[in-house]
Amino acid sequence: MSEFASLLNSFKKTAARKRPHAENVVVRPPSPPPAHPSFPSVHRDVGRGDDGGVGGSSDSFELSFLVIGAQKAGTSWLHSQLRRCDRLALPRDRKEVHFWDWHHRRGFDWYVRQFDFPPRRRGAGAGGDERRPLRYGEITPCYVVLPPPTIAEIKRCFPGIKLIFVARNLVDRAWSAMVMELRDRNMGMNPGEFADGVVEGGGDDERRGPKRSRQRVDAVSIAQRLRMQRQSSPSSWSDEYFLERLRSETHASRSDYAAHLRHWYAHFPPESILLLDYREIEADPRGLLLRVAMHVGLAEDEARAYVTSLREEDVRRRVNAADANDDETSRRALSRRPDLERKMREHLLPYTRDFNEMLAERGLSWKLSEV
Ligand SMILES: Nc1ncnc2c1ncn2[C@@H]1O[C@H](COP(=O)(O)OS(=O)(=O)O)[C@@H](OP(=O)(O)O)[C@H]1O
């Protein structure tokens, strides 16, 4: 295969991985506005009355659950499983709605419109069968870092809401997130120009095309592509680069599970918040899903029927993996850098211990590995 064809294949592979599809829907606007405590209140905006009604088309809407994190802890897998439960209604065409952080200003009716109202239940209204109402919920893993005023607002609007947080070993979480950052950087550099010049035209033939201007674009694109490919590969970056990213505000915040969860515990009773161990996704995926289904309000018979209905190959599938086939971006790449791995572990140890203390306080017997 020519160098050009191999570059093209590699580009298509990366683009396909990023493209939202049924099992891997990750919506990540490039520059999200930061969450701000002075957002107009949902309560005030929609005139939610004393009776709890939200007004307009969202009259009977009750948000039953939010999966608030953690980022890179199997939340896309969880999304792909919960979508298969016909007693749950999730956002229609995306995994992460980001209402409570980025899109709050669009208003509550916008939020309600994002949800799936399966056609066969339309006749019964938004709540479906009155005896067994649908449970509405969504999964946006960075909700865990929401500021306390927004958390208070969620509580005010939906006092009975259930929350779910999946915790992953902090070194693995951070590595997974930093590999994703490099991949995003790769996709962010002039993908449109590359597509115009190369992808649409159809590979090698395009290089021999008649238009000189297009040839120039191809040449630039290939040079860019080579540079982008190098830049998206973890091996192109020093240990110091990763440690610096780890110290950045983004990663410091996302690693500090306990500090952020304390904000949620300040507003919600402990039984509203289900803390799950990421390792259970592999060890006992159906057991984990049963707990989630019951936590969000399904009756035990409904929850068991749902979990039993899932196909083994779906439950066992990895969703949104860094790339199981790419040794360079997988967890193995970090294992080959023991010095970096050790420094990451040392840096993250205080966060791990803090979270483990929180688990112990809640009477949970599992903990994240400290070694
Ligand atoms: N079934 C199963 N078992 C074990 N691990 C799994 C599974 N499905 C997904 N994953 C891993 O979860 C990581 C992606 O997490 P998220 O989907 O939460 O990422 S994101 O925050 O939405 O971008 C991502 O981790 P990395 O591969 O280390 O990046 C996935 O591989």
Q: What is the mean pLDDT of the chain?
A: 78
Residue 57 structure tokens: 């088309």
Among protein residues, the one with the nearest Cα to ligand 1's atom 28 is 176
Task: Dihedral sign for Cα 82, 289, 68, 332, please.
Answer: negative
Query: Could you tell me the pLDDT band of residue 219, with boundaries at 50, 70 and 90?
Result: low
Assess whether pLDDT exceeds 90 at residue 128.
Answer: no
Residue 128 CA to residue 125 CA, distance in Å, equals 5
β-strand pairing of 88-89 with 162-167: unpaired
- Under the banding of pLDDT at 50, 70 and 90, the label for residue 44 is very low
Could you list the active site residues? 72
276 strand-pairing partners: 166
- Could you tell me the distance, in angstroms and rounded to a whole number, from the CA of residue 171 to the centre of ligand 1? 14
Task: Answer yes or no: pTM beyond 0.90.
Answer: no
64 is in an annotated binding site: no
CA distance 185 to 225: 12
The mean pLDDT of 300-322, rounded to a whole number, is: 96
Q: In terms of C-beta density within 10 A (0-12 exposed, 13-18 middle, 19 or more buried), how is residue 1 classed?
A: exposed
* Closest residue to atom 8 of ligand 1, CA basis: 318
What is the average per-residue pLDDT within 216-244? 81
Quote the pLDDT of residue 316: 97
Q: What is the pLDDT of residues 338-371, one digit of tens each?
A: 999 999 999 999 999 999 999 999 999 999 999 8
Measured in angstroms, how far is the CA atom of residue 166 from the centroid of ligand 1? 11
Dump pLDDT digits (tens) for 271-283. 999 999 999 999 9
Q: Which domains does the chain have, with CATH numbers?
A: 42-169+256-320+356-361 (3.40.50.300)
238 annotated among ligand-binding-site residues: no
Task: Give distance in angstroms: CA of 21 to centre of ligand 1.
Answer: 15
What pLDDT, on a 0 to 100 scale, did the predictor assign at position 223? 78
Stretch 191-201: mean pLDDT, rounded? 28
Does the beta carbon of 75 lie inside 6 Å of ligand 1?
A: yes
Which secondary structure element, helix H or strand E, spans residue 172, and what is its range? helix 170-188
**Choice from 75, 76, 334 to test ligand 1 binding pocket (greatest atom count within 8 A of CB):** 76
Distance set, CA 102 to CA 30, 117, 262, 300 (Å): 12, 23, 22, 35
